[in-house]
A and B are shown apart, each in its own frame.
Chain A
Amino acid sequence: MSEPLLKVRNLDVSVYDKKGKPFKIVDGISFDVQPGEVIALIGESGSGKTTISLGCMGYTRPGCHITNGTVDLGGTQVLDQSLPKLQELRGKDITYVAQSAAASFNGAMTIDAQVTEIPVITGAMSREDALAKAARLYNDLELPDPDNIGKRYPHQVSGGQLQRLMAAMAMISGPRLLILDEPTTALDVTTQIEVLASFKKLIKDNDTAAIYVTHDLSLVAQVADHILVLKDGQMVEYGTTDQIISDPQHDYTKALMAAAHLMPDEIHAPPITTTEETPLLQVKNVTAGYGAKQEIIALRDIDLTIHAGETVGVIGESGSGKTTLGRLISGLMGAKNGSVHLNGQQLAQSVGQRSRDELRQIQFAFQMADVALNPRQKLNKILSRPMMFYRGLSQSEATKEVARLLERVDLPTEFAWRFPPELSGGQRQRVNLARALAAEPKLIICDEITSALDTIVAQQILDLLEDLQDELGLSYMFITHDIATVSKISEQIAVMRHGRIVAQGSVDQVLTPPCHDYTQLLLNSVPEMRTDWLDEAVVERRKLVAALDGN
């Protein structure tokens, strides 16, 4: 085997606590990257995968310190370089593609100015050469209008395009090592595979070595040669991609495999319930929009029915109107046409006009538990307030109820006296659910509540939702972009696109072929755990997109 391009040895990265005691967040990591090879760092949040990849560039986030180890890039000791030397190395030899291109591009400069910035200011290329090379890269990445797209500002192109433009920025200097940090996580599922495919092609055509950081095993199976599995800053398993996905050794790797976002082998057919009783919730022929006169239409002709004890999955990509529908049902916004009925009674449009009991029956659980919970209030206060407000309990009665509620969502009762920031992401999402439960609702609108969580934790939250439904007979409206998750927990499903419901019915009806082109596109975008999936999926995707656009 030839000499490796990158040699990382015994890398330690530490943070210091208030007493100045170091705590290792990356612990003794060693690995090699061969020229032209893609190595994947995989693990959940907090596993140190991003910290390691940044460490390879000699960079640490504020508060972190590299306390031990060496990084050797083709004979250069990266960690020993002075800052100006490092800045030269970073622009030329190692480049970086960040998770959120939307946040990582400078909004005040044109795309071309940012893509060509480094080669131009270092004198490596003339401005004209750099622009020409950028246009070639845009073309290779299959961006629309490659000669002119760079003249725009970042906000004028879509998220998927930005992510590819960022790859162009990383490739323009012809780096020896490319670091991709969750480069498709922020994208819609159907966009993700296009972007992934262009990254794969780019790496292969330029014979660049790459470190691919992600939490998604099925994605990594498409691009990586080797996989390094991380947990709590330590390496738990290392091997070739085939070996890891076909024969994982470590229990943690197996757990990651089990929780991966895969379509279940068989879509369960829910029992047909032919109830004559009034449905819990009915949305009838609703059209709604934003703006002073609701002139920007976000929902068109929506009909949706939720029966008691049932889970209805609402699925769609960003901008499809699924969150707007949730907001409309809960009374956070009004409709232009149509009506919402609870137990057969028509509901007033806005929260302010609904009775307290109507409000109590529909509760909302938000996506970001860390933002939705007041960080300065103890859980006891957060959870007892809806009990006192909706159910008229006294503070002491509510405090007793809080203990029971915490047990119900599998949290220790002494958490009542903690603040939200002291909890982990998964625990906070449990509190978020508990707050909705505190009102003793009939329907909980769950808006992407598992999207920000690691796969294993997300699975636990889904299990909790099912347990609660069995015990309490709750109904859920489960809003998500993840068709694999929704197919596992819903009885009914509604597929939304551009503000309309394009397909609706029981899970097996909607998801079993032949289905609507858009449903098929979503299904087709869920990665499969085999290395040849991507190429087939891209071909299939183009056919479906063409069919959809043709309509």
Chain B
Amino acid sequence: MSLWEIVRHRLVLGVGTLLFVSVLVFVGTEILPGDVAHAILGQNATPELLDQVRERLGLNEPLHVRYFVWLTNFVSGDFGASLANGADIGTEVGRRASNTLLLALSTAVIAVPLAIALGLAAAVKPGGLVDRAITSTSLMLISFPDFLVAVVLVTIFAIKLRWLPAIASIRPSYDVFDWIRVLILPVTALTFTILAHMVRMTRSAVLNVLSSPAIEMAILKGVPRRRLLLRHALPNALGPIVNVVALNLAYLISGVVVIETLFNFPGLGRYMVEAVTNRDVPIVQTCAMIFCSFYVLLNMTADILSIMANPRVRYKK
């Protein structure tokens, strides 16, 4: 298969996955007790009113018809209006998503290079002091849930030392420095949670490559240690590393619910949590679909990148 065919194949698979997920999301929110009409009318629900609202919203149509209407609207960018306050979901999602993206990107920019560097450092001498320090610390960090890390950070830096704000709410008047001050704690907490996976995967992927005959050959032909790691081992270990990085980046977009809620950060995660509390079904559906799209997109990119990192695929015989 040529590279283009592989990419096309992955794209088709990605779209297929998204369609499947959209069915799950739609059906999942449908089978929740009480429908949208109930949610809108709340205390005022009488059978007659319910019928009227259902008629108006098209809720009496069969399930598959409503699914296709919903999907068509979603794909064309019409996410509908909030049930709680009638506000356009699209506008709000745009604002929230850019906040979440900023948080995710800041974390990624710090965490990914740091993880690869630490993983490499650990792989240089397996079983050595540096390796043991890095692996045991990362194991410890994996074991701590992210909210605990966040609470500990807040206790130390916001409450005891009073260096940083405990809450990361955003005001329009903020300049760059305010943004940085606000983001430090959530970014640190997130970095701790995603760092460990990437460090450990980098370490084991590099170690795996280091035990290959190609590396023994490189040692025997006199390649210096540093170059051995960076030019010979790392490029061959990229496949698994790219994949775990993508998984963690996807987590940064969709899994930040806890951190966003804890720091009261106005991102997509908190938007969804609020919508769940209000039974604001269209928002929940939209957020779920956006999270899934990021997952699929990032994993697909990782797949394609790790395939491209392999010269066997890039250059045919």
Q: Could you tell me which A residues sit within 8 Å of B by CB distance?
A: 54, 57, 59, 61-62, 83-84, 87-92, 95-96, 98, 100, 103-109, 117-118, 121-122, 152-153, 155-156, 169-170
Binary per-residue interface labels of chain B (294-316) against chain A in the complex, 1 for a CB within 8 Å, 0 otherwise:
00000000000000011110011
CB pair B217–A87 under 8 Å, yes or no, is no
From known contacts A87-B223, A91-B222, infer whether A108 and B217 are also in contact, taking CB-CB under 8 Å.
Answer: no
Instruction: Name the residue of chain A whose CB is nearest to the CB of B210.
Output: A62
- Given A96-B217, A100-B213, A155-B311, check contact A106 B232 (CB 8 Å): yes
In whole angstroms, what is the CA distance A269 to B144 when docked?
77
Q: Is the CB of A156 within 8 A of B224?
A: no
Interface residues of B in 199-236 (CB under 8 A from A): 211-214, 216-225, 227, 231-232, 235-236
Question: CB within 8 A of B214: which of A87, A90, A103, A122?
Answer: A103
Bound-state Cα–Cα, A106 to B312, Å = 12
> At the interface, yes or no: B160 with Cβ under 8 Å from chain A?
no
B311 contacts A117, CB within 8 Å?
Answer: no
A83: which B residues are within 8 A, CB to CB?
225
Least distance between B125 CB and chain A CB atoms (Å) = 12
Query: Which single residue of chain B is at the shortest CB-CB distance from A115?
Result: B221
Contact A169 B221, CB 8 Å, known A106-B236, A109-B231: yes
Q: Are B312 and A153 in contact (CB under 8 A)?
A: yes
Given known pairs A152-B315, A153-B315, A156-B315, the reply for A105 and B223 (CB within 8 Å) is: no
Give CA–CA (A156, B311) in the complex, Å.
10
Smallest distance from the beta carbon of B226 to chain A beta carbons, Å? 11
Instruction: Please tell me if the beta carbons of A107 and B222 are within 8 angstroms of each other in the complex.
Output: no
* Least Cβ–Cβ distance between B2 and chain A, in angstroms: 15
Interchain CB contact under 8 A, B224 and A104: no
Residues of B within 8 A of A103 (CB): 212-214
Instruction: Output the residue of A106, A109, A155 with the most chain B CB within 10 A.
Output: A106
> B317 within 8 Å of A by Cβ?
yes
Nearest residue in A to B316 (C-beta to C-beta)?
A: A156
When the two chains form their complex, are residues B312 and A107 in contact, meaning their CB atoms are under 8 A apart? yes
Once A59-B219, A90-B220, A91-B221 are accepted as A-B contacts, the answer to whether A104 and B214 lie under 8 Å apart by CB is yes
Contacts of A117 in B (CB 8 A): 221, 223
| Known contacts A59-B220, A118-B222; A107/B315 CB under 8 A | no
Complex CA–CA separation, A155 to B310 (angstroms): 11
Q: Are A95 and B221 in contact (CB under 8 A)?
A: yes
Extra 6 A-B pairs, beta carbons < 8 Å, given A87-B219, A155-B317, A156-B315: A96-B220, A104-B216, A118-B221, A153-B315, A156-B316, A170-B221
Q: Are A104 and B213 neighbours in the complex by a CB distance under 8 Å?
A: yes
Residue contact B315 to A121, C-beta cutoff 8 Å:
no
**A88–B231 Cα gap in the complex (Å)?**
18
A156 CA / B316 CA spacing, docked (Å): 7
B214 and A84: CB pair below 8 A? no
A83 and B124 CA atoms in complex are apart in Å by 14
Per the CB 8 Å criterion, the residue count for chain B at the interface is 26
Beta-carbon nearest neighbor of A105 in chain B: B214
Taking the nearest CB of chain A, how far is it from the CB of B3, in angstroms?
Answer: 14
Q: Which of chain B's residues have a CB closer than 8 A to the CB of A100?
A: 213
Q: With A and B bound together, what is the CA distance between A109 and B235 in angstroms?
A: 9
Task: With a 10 A CB-CB cut-off, give which of A92, A95, A96, A169 has the most chain B CB atoms.
Answer: A96
Q: Are B214 and A106 in contact (CB under 8 A)?
A: yes
Report the Cα distance A90→B232, complex, angstroms: 17
**CA gap between A83 and B235 in the complex, in Å:** 24
8 residue pairs, one from A and one from B, having the closest CB atoms: A91-B222, A90-B222, A104-B217, A108-B235, A103-B213, A96-B220, A153-B311, A87-B222
**Contact indicator A105/B312 (Cβ below 8 Å):** no
Residues of A within 8 A of B223 (CB): 87, 91, 117-118, 121
Q: Complex: how many Å from CA A153 to CA B313?
A: 11
B46 to chain A, nearest CB (A): 61
In the complex the two chains form, is A57's CB within 8 Å of B224's CB?
Answer: no
CB of B311 within 8 A of CB of A88, answer no
**Complex: A388 Cα to B223 Cα, angstroms:** 55
Enumerate chain B residues within 8 angstroms of A155, measured Cβ to Cβ: 311-312, 317
Residues in B with CB closer than 8 Å to A107 are 214, 236, 310-312
Query: Which residues of chain B are within 8 angstroms of A153 by Cβ–Cβ distance?
Result: 311-312, 315
Please give the distance in Å from A171's CB to the nearest CB on chain B.
12
Smallest Cβ-Cβ distance to A117: which chain B residue? B223
CA of A57 to CA of B216 in the docked complex: distance in angstroms? 12
Closest to B313 in A: A155
A122–B227 alpha-carbon span in the complex (Å): 12
Q: How far is the CA of A106 from the CA of B310 in the complex (A)?
A: 11
How many Å from the CB of A313 to the closest CB on chain B? 31
A and B contact pairs by CB, cutoff 8 A, 16 listed? A54-B220, A62-B211, A90-B220, A91-B221, A96-B220, A104-B214, A106-B217, A108-B310, A108-B311, A109-B232, A121-B224, A122-B222, A155-B311, A155-B312, A155-B317, A156-B317
Contacts known (A153-B315, A155-B312, A156-B315); A105 close to B222, Cβ less than 8 A: no
Asked whether, in the complex, the Cβ of B222 is within 8 Å of the Cβ of A88, the reply is: yes
In angstroms, Cα B217 to Cα A34, docked, is 25
A124 to chain B minimum Cβ distance, whole angstroms, is 11
User: From residue B216, how far is it (CB to closest CB) to chain A in Å?
Assistant: 7
Residues of B within 8 A of A91 (CB): 221-223
Flag if A106 contacts B213 (CB, 8 Å).
Answer: no
A103, B211: Cα distance in complex, Å: 12
Distance between Cα atoms of A153 and B235 in the complex (Å) = 14
Q: Which residues of B contact A108 (CB under 8 A)?
A: 235-236, 309-311
CB-CB nearest in chain B for A104 = B217
Given A83-B225, A155-B317, A156-B315, check contact A105 B220 (CB 8 Å): no
Contacts of B217 in A (CB 8 A): 96, 98, 104-106
- Shortest B317–chain A CB gap in Å is 5
* Minimum distance in angstroms from B192 CB to a CB of chain A: 32
Q: How many angstroms between the C-alpha atoms of A90 and B225 in the bound complex? A: 13
Closest CB-CB distance, B54 to chain A, in whole Å? 50
Q: Is A96 touching B212 in the complex (CB atoms < 8 A)?
A: no
Q: How far is the CA of A122 from the CA of B221 in the complex (A)?
A: 12
